Structure 1
Amino acid sequence: MKYGIGLFAALCLLAIGFYTGATEHKNIFSEVKWTDIGTLLVTFFGFAFGFFTYFQWLNGKRKEDAYLAAKKYIASIDEVEEHLHELLFQYNHICPAPGVVVENKYVSAKRIEHLNNVWNCLYQARRSLYKSHRELGFWNVRLADSFVEDYKAMNKQLDNISVVCSVLNNQLFHFIESNMENMNDVIQHKNRFDELHKEIHQVTQKRMQCGFKATFSFGQ
């Protein structure tokens, strides 16, 4: 935008210089009609206005793209949360706990298969989150300082929860194949999943409390 204003000022100075020179050597232009001069001025100011309008549009487009990049980052976090909630829902129905009905082997096997699919989807969602975070800088957008630390903490917690899920899914397979012989291990890792899920949820909900404007800083 500042380059457009500078160029517009340069054109104005050029026009002023031309007019000054013309008045000093008015005899040279004695044959020039005022209608021609008027047409020239209208053309010049029309060009200048169009140039200014273009840079205004370009500046607005950049701001729009910056907001879209920020929204994409938020959408990536929402996708991660969605898969985590699905994992929690499935674990709550298959892991042993008071009040949980023991499912038959076939239903449990299908649930474990679904858990593995969701776990893979979570991995892809994390890749999308990484890419959307990386693209913020390209559009001259950055996270507020407190949210930078939250992003780092969330990624660390997601690393931990991925390991826990991988182990827990394997333990659940042996759990239904061995008549619940490894129940204590399943319960232990399920409790660890619950802890990590709660921590991640607290981090992601912070943006809901602070709002969009407090989460990002947009460059000029």
Structure 2
Amino acid sequence: MKYGTGLFIALCLLVIGYYIGATEHESIFLNVKWTDIGTLFVTFFGFSFGFFTYFQWISSKRKEDAYLAAKQYIASIAEIEEHLYELLFQYNHICPAPGVIVENKDVSVKRIEHLNNVWNYLYQARRSLYKSHRELEFWNVSLTAEFSEDYKVVNKLLDNISVVSSTLNNQLFHFIESNMKNIDSVIQHKKQFDGLYNGIHKVTQKRVPCGFKAIFKFGQ
């Protein structure tokens, strides 16, 4: 935007300078009609207005794309939250705990298959978060200091929860096949998962009361 305005002013100064210089040679304009001069100026200012409008549009488009990049970052976090909640929901129904009804083997096997699929979805969502975070810089957008630190914290917690979730899925498979012989390991890993889930949920939910403007800094 600044570049376009500067170029427009430079063109105006060039025309004015040329006109002032040309007045020293008045004979040049003896056979020139004022209507032609008027047409020239109208054409020039029409071109200048179009040029100025174009750069305004470019500036507006960049702001729009920057907003969409920031929106995609938020969408990636929401997707991760959704998959994490689905994992928690399934674990709460299959892992042994007071008040949890023991399901038959067929139902449990199908639930574990679903857990593996959700775990893969979570991996893809993490890739989406990484890419959307990388795209912010391209559009001259950055996270505020607090949320930049939260991004690092969430990624570290996600690394840990991915390991725990993968292990817990395997433990649950053996839990079913071995007639619950490894129940202590399942309970231990479920407890670890719950702790990590609560940690991630606490960090990601900070964005809700803070609002969009508190998360991002937009460049000029």
* TM-score normalized by the length of structure 1: 0.99
Letter in 1 for 2:194: D
Flag structure 2 segments of 5+ consecutive residues without an equivalent.
Answer: none
The alpha carbon displacement at 1:22 in A equals 2.5
Output the amino acid matched with 1:69. A
Are 1:112 and 2:109 matched, yes or no? no
What is the distance in 2 between the residues matched to 1:195 and 1:210?
A: 24
Task: Kindly state the Cα deviation for residue 56 of structure 1 after the two structures are TM-superposed.
Answer: 0.3
**Residue of structure 1 equivalent to 2:217:** 217
In structure 2, what is the equivalent of residue 181 of structure 1?
Answer: 181
Query: Structure 2 CA distance, aligned partners of 1:162 and 1:97?
Result: 22
Q: Which residue of 2 aligns with 1:38?
A: 38
Aligned pairs (5 A) from 1:36-75: 36-75=36-75
How far, CA to CA, are the matches of 2:35 and 2:88 in structure 1?
A: 79
TM-score of the two chains, using structure 2 as the length reference: 0.99
Distance 2:124 2:173 in 1: 23
Q: Give the share of equivalent positions with the same residue, in percent.
A: 78
* Alpha-carbon distance in 2 for matches of 1:2, 1:152: 35
Question: Match for residue 22 of structure 1?
Answer: 22
Q: Secondary structure at the match of 1:179?
A: coil
- Tell me the residue number matched to 1:144: 144
Match of 2:90 in 1: 90
- The correspondence of residues 126-205 of structure 1 with structure 2, limited to 5 A, is 126-205=126-205
Distance 1:215 1:6 in 2: 32
Query: What secondary structure, in the 3-state scheme, does the structure 2 residue paired with 1:217 have?
Result: strand
**Alignment root-mean-square deviation, CA:** 0.6
CA distance in 2, matches of 1:36, 1:218: 47
Task: Report how far residue 184 of structure 1 moved.
Answer: 1.0
Runs of 4+ deviating beyond 4 Å: none
Cα drift, residue 24 of structure 1: 1.7
Partner of 1:6: 6
Deviations 1:16-72 (A, max 9, x none): 112212322112211100000000000000000000000000000000000000000
2:196 counterpart letter in structure 1:
L
Residue deviations 1:158-195 (CA, integer Å, cap 9, x gap): 00000000110000001111111111111111011011
Letter in 1 for 2:103: E
